[in-house]
Amino acid sequence: MTAQIIDGLALSRQLRAEVAQRAAALAARGVRPGLAVVLVGDDPASQIYVRNKVKACAETGLHSVLERYPASMTEPELLARVRALNDDPAIHGILVQLPLPSHLAAHRVIESISPAKDVDGFHLASAGALMIGQPGFRPCTPSGCMKMLESIGCEPRGKHAVIIGRSNIVGKPMAMLLLHASATVTICHSATRDLAHHTRQADILVAAVGRRNIVSAGMVKSGAVVIDVGMNRDDQGKLCGDVDFAGVREVAGWITPVPGGVGPMTITMLLVNTLEAAQRTLAGSHR
Ligand code: GUN
């Protein structure tokens, strides 16, 4: 079997066109959705990510501001900036790019963001809301993965989903979203014994580790849906995921490529969350 490709770029294009339409409708009612992106320090990967986020806003008609600060910024200074953005009516979503320089406590900074503007879905209130199935912002990468499953008509109910990785940004929220969709969920991590034993049982396999080729063809059940969240570089410096794409492609039913898979969907869901945040201000409901 040769897997079908889940094209994250094509799906993103379609969803971003909907965002642009909805943003225009909101703007006509006097609310232009606005995102503030805060970058502290000069991490090269973070600079590329934030540039892409700001560019995506411009392409869909969202207002955005990029605030860049030197790595020497103090925590009180950063907290004061976040508070000012919390109070800024032109800003509906606030994103503080991670990782932060080590002298800044990321959890305190994230907790200072108003949950109503937490479009990354990283705030404790958002994480708690996800855990108990209450409305709130969902982290962008896992919600993008759910959209990809939906786009191919993959219904998680009753399926066995196996996630490799237990990060707060991807692995754990991914598990919660799949659980709420009534999948049977297994989370594997660095201390898991016999990883392949678990992955071979997966109808839906999500790799979110950050290590090249952690998933090979022999670890995948025939016909499985394989979602690759990894962003790594191969020996030639080319972008690649966590999955041995060429090998797994011959076994899986569906597979996401890297690049052009999950990556564009993460930014797309950030736009969707920002739009929702703006929409909620109009409805007057701060869920
Ligand atoms: N660093 C890597 N991914 C993300 C993300 O989705 N949001 C933020 N704020 N920082 C990140």
- In this model, does residue 141 exceed pLDDT 50? yes
Which amino acid does the sequence have at 132? Answer: I
| Residue 237 CA: distances (Å) to CA of 66, 187, 240, 274 | 28, 30, 9, 33
Residue 140 Cα to ligand 1 midpoint, Å, equals 9
Is 53 annotated as catalytic?
yes
Cβ neighbours of residue 217 closer than 8 Å, sequence gap 6 or more: 244, 247, 248, 250, 251
Residue 95 CA: nearest ligand 1 atom is 9
What's the 158 CA to ligand 1 centre distance in angstroms? 31
Say yes or no to pLDDT of 221 above 90: yes
- Asked whether the predicted pLDDT for residue 285 surpasses 50, the reply is no
Model confidence pLDDT, tens digit, residues 84-100: 999 999 999 999 999 99
pLDDT tens-digit profile of 94-134?
Answer: 999 999 999 999 999 999 999 999 999 999 999 999 999 99
Q: Over range 203-221, report the average pLDDT.
A: 98
Among 7, 53, 203, 242, the one annotated catalytic = 53
Band of the pLDDT at 199, cuts 50, 70, 90?
very high
> Which ligand 1 atom lies nearest to the CA of residue 46?
1
Q: What distance in angstroms lies between residue 163's CA and the mean position of ligand 1's atoms? A: 19
Answering whether pTM is above 0.75, one says yes
Identify the band that residue 174 occupies on the pLDDT scale cut at 50, 70 and 90.
Answer: very high
Confidence of residue 239 (pLDDT cuts 50, 70, 90): very high
Q: How many other CB atoms are found less than 10 A from the CB of residue 250? A: 13
- In DSSP notation, 42-108 reads --HHHHHHHHHHHHHHHHHT-EEEEEEE-TT--HHHHHHHHHHHHT-TT--EEEE-SSPPTTS-HHH
Percent of the chain with pLDDT over 70: 99
Q: Which residues line ligand 1 (CB under 6 A)?
A: 95-98, 120, 140, 266
- Asked if the bond preceding 135 is cis, omega within 30° of 0, the reply is no
At residue 284, does pLDDT exceed 80?
Answer: no
Active site residue 172: no
Average pLDDT on 40-62 reads 97
The ligand 1 atom nearest the CA atom of 141: 6
The alpha carbon of 98 and the centre of ligand 1 are apart by a number of angstroms equal to 5
CB distance 231 to 214 below 8 Å: no
Q: In 188-207, which positions are buried (b, 16+ CB within 10 angstroms) versus exposed (e)?
A: beeeeeebeebbbebbbbbb
For residue 104, what pLDDT is reported? Answer: 98
Please tell me the distance from the alpha carbon of residue 25 to that of residue 196, in angstroms, as a whole number. 49
Residue range 66-87: mean pLDDT, rounded: 98
Domains assigned to the chain: 30-115 (3.40.50.10860), 140-263 (3.40.50.720)
Q: How many CB atoms lie within 10 A of CB 154?
A: 18
Q: Per-residue pLDDT for 286 more than 70?
A: no
Indicate the DSSP class of residue 258: S
88 is catalytic: no
Mean predicted confidence (pLDDT) in 253-257: 98
Quick check: 287 pLDDT over 60?
Answer: no
